Structure 1
C-alpha cells in the first residue's frame, strides 16, 4: 500500500480541477468580432503551449536536468498520444453540429471516462487484481455507474435542447453522422489518460529531483504540446479557408484587449483542471487509474449542477427535470462509490 495515499483529499483536488474545466467555456460568449478558430487558437496557445512551461518552470526543481535525464521514448509516446487526443477534440466540435452539445458532451465524456479508466489496468494486466479486492469492486462499479449516469445526463440535455432554445443547440439533427463522430471523439479523448500514463517515467525523474506532488506538471510539456499540434493545424486550415487571419490584429483595440484577455482566462481555467488533476492523482493511492473517471464524473456533475443553479432547466417539462435530477443523483452515487473504494484501499496504509 502507498503510505502517502490520501484519496479523499485527492477527490477534493479533482473537484477543484473539474470545477475549472466546467467554467472554462463561459468566457467564450463574451468574445466579439472573432470567429471560432481565431478564439480557439488563441486560448489553445495559452492552455496547451505556454502555461505548461510556466507552471513546470515554477514547480519542477532543476527542470533542465529533468528533461535531460528523462527517457526520450516516454517523451515521444506522451506527445504522440497527445496528438491523438487533439484529434478527439476536433471530432468533439464537429459532433456538436450534428447531435447537439448535451448529447455530444455526455456520450464523448462517458466513453472517455470508461475507456480511459479501465483500459490502462486491462492492458497492464492488473484489472483482475483490482477486482479481487472489495475496494476495487467499489471503484469499478462506480466507474460503470458514472458512465451510465452521463448517458442519462445526455438524454436530459437533449430533451432540454428540444424543449427550449439554448445557445449552441443543434440546428440539423443527424445522428447517422453525429453518433460515429462522437464515439470517435470519446475514444480519442480517452487517449489523454494514456498520454499521462506514458509520461509517468518523466514524472518519476522529476520526483527524484524534488518535485514531490507537482511531478505530473512535467508530463504536460509533452501531452499538451501534442494536443496543441493538432489544434494548430486544424485552426490554421480554417483560418486559411475563411481568410480570417486578420482578426488577430484588426478587431479594434478594445475588442482585441477583451478577446485576448478572455482567451487567456479560458486557457488558464482549462489548464488548471490538469494542474489539480495532477495534484489529486498522486494522492489516490493504489487505484490511481480511477483518477480519470472521478475527474470526468465530477466535471459532468458540476456542469449539470451549475446549469440547474442558474436556472437553465427552469422552463423544461417536469419529466425532463426528473431525468436531470436522477442523473445528478447517479453521478453523486458514482463519485461516492469511487471515493469510498479508494478510501478502503488506503485504510491498511493508514493503519
Structure 2
C-alpha cells in the first residue's frame, strides 16, 4: 500500500503542476519577467524555507549536522534546473506549448529517471530486479504518450491557425535546441533531490519522517531561484520594467495575488512529490517518470476542461484520446513494477 500511496501523492503533485500556469492568464500589464520573478520568489525561495521550518523538527540542528557537499550539489543542480525552466519558457515562443512540453518533458522523463542510478553505478543491477521490465515498459509507454500529446497539440495549434487565421512565429530551428536544453537541465532537479538525500537522512534522525524531502528544497529551489533572478534582472534592465512592481496604473494587488497563487501551486507539486517519493520503495528513482507522465496527462485534461480543444479537428481529438490512454497505461505499468519490487 505504500507504493499505491506514493503514486497517489505524485498524482496530487502533478495535478497542482498542471494548473500552476492558469493564473497567468489573469495577470494584466505586467511583462513576463515581472510576473515570473514574483511567482518564483514564492515557489523557489519563500515557501521552501517556510515549509521546511514548519515540517522539519529542529531545522537549525539538521542543517548544522548535514554534509556540506550534499548541500552544494543540491544547490548547483537546482541552478541548472532554473536555467532549464527559463529555456522552456523561451522555447514556447517559437514552437508552442504542446511541442515544447512533449520534447522537453519526454527528454526530462528519461534522463531524470535513469541518471541517479546510472551515476551511482546501480542501473544495470536495478534493472535486473523483480518488476524491472514493468518499469522499462512504463517509461517507453510514457515517452510514447508524451510524444502523442505533443503531436496532438501541434495539430491543435495548426487547426487554430486555420480556423482563426492567426499569424504564427513557429520556428523549429530556434525552438528545438532550447527544448533539448530545457529537457536535459530540467531533469537535473530529480538528480538534485537524489544528491541531497544525505540532508534528508539527517532530518529523519530528528523525526522528520515522510516530510524529509522538504529540507532538500531549501537548496534545490534556492538554486533555481538564483538563476531565475539573474535572468529576470537582466530582462528588467534591458527593457526598463522594474517600475512594474510598483506602478499604480496596473491592477497591482490582483497581479501579486495571481503570482502568489502560481507560486503556491508550483511549490505544491514539490511538496507532494516528496511525500510520494519516500513511499516508492526499491524503484524510488522512477518517481520522476511517474511525476512527468502524470504532469503531461493532467495538463492535457486541464486543457480539455478549459475548452482549449474546441477548434480541433476530429483527427486531432482521436490522437489526443489515444495519447491519454497510453499515458494511463504507462502509470499503471510503473505502479505494477514498484509493487512487484516492494512485494518481493
Q: TM-score, normalised by structure 2?
A: 0.96
Q: 1:170 and 1:234, CA in 2 relative to 1: closer, same or farther beyond 3 A?
A: farther
For the pair 1:259 / 2:263, whether they are aligned, the reply is no
Residue range with higher mean Cα deviation, 210-219 or 138-147: 138-147
User: In structure 1, the residue corresponding to 2:131 is in which secondary structure?
Assistant: helix
Cα RMSD between the aligned structures? 1.6
Deviation digits for residues 259-317 of structure 1 (CA, Å, limit 9, x no counterpart):
11111100000000000000000000111000000001001001111222333223211
C-alpha contact 1:70 1:202 (8 A) present in aligned 2: yes
- 1:37-52 alignment, distance < 5 Å: 37-52=33-48
Q: Aligned partners of 2:114 and 2:66: how far apart in 1? A: 27
CA deviation string 1:82-141 (max 9, x = no partner): 111111111111111111111001110110011100122122222222222341110121
Aligned to 1:183: 180
Q: CA deviation at 1:226?
A: 0.3
**TM-score normalized by the length of structure 1:** 0.94
TM superposition outliers: structure 1 runs of 4+ over 6 Å: none
Q: 1:61 aligns with which of 36, 57, 60?
A: 57
Q: In structure 1, list runs of 5 or more residues that go unmatched.
A: none
Partner of 1:74: 70
2:202 to 205, 215, 235: 205
- State the partner residue of 1:285: 281
Q: 1:274 is matched with which residue: 264, 270, 273? A: 270
Which residues of 2 match residues 115-154 of structure 1 at below 5 A?
A: 115-154=111-150
Displacement of 1:340 in angstroms is 0.9
Q: Give the equivalent residue in structure 2 for 1:224.
A: 221
Secondary structure in structure 2 of the residue aligned to 1:171: coil
**How much does 1:170 deviate?**
8.4
* Count of equivalent residues: 342
Gaps of 5+ in 2: none
CA distance in 2, matches of 1:331, 1:172: 30
Structure 1 residue 109 and structure 2 residue 105: aligned?
yes
Match for 2:27 among 21, 31, 54?
A: 31
Distance 1:105 1:89 in 2: 11
Separation of aligned partners in 1, 2:308 and 2:32: 24
Confirm or deny that 1:324 pairs with 2:317.
Answer: no
Where does 1:157-172 land on structure 2 (aligned, <5 Å)?
A: 157-165=153-161, 171-172=168-169
CA offsets, 1:219-255, max 9 Å, x none?
00000000000000000011111111001011447x1
Q: Distance in 2 between matches of 1:170 and 1:46?
A: 35
**Inter-partner Cα distance in structure 2 for 1:66 and 1:13:** 25
Alpha-carbon distance in structure 2 between the residues aligned to 1:309 and 1:41: 28
The aligned counterpart of 1:17 is 13
- Conserved 8 A contact 1:290-1:338: yes
Structure 1, 318-327 or 244-253: larger mean CA deviation: 244-253
- Structure 1 match to 2:334: 338
- Note the C-alpha offset of 1:146: 0.4
Shift of the alpha carbon at 1:344? Answer: 1.2
Deviates more, 1:88-97 or 1:50-59: 88-97
CA pair 222-332 structure 1, distance change in 2 beyond 3 A: same
Q: Does 1:96 align with 2:92?
A: yes
Is the partner of 1:68 in helix, strand or coil?
helix
Structure 2 match to 1:307: 303
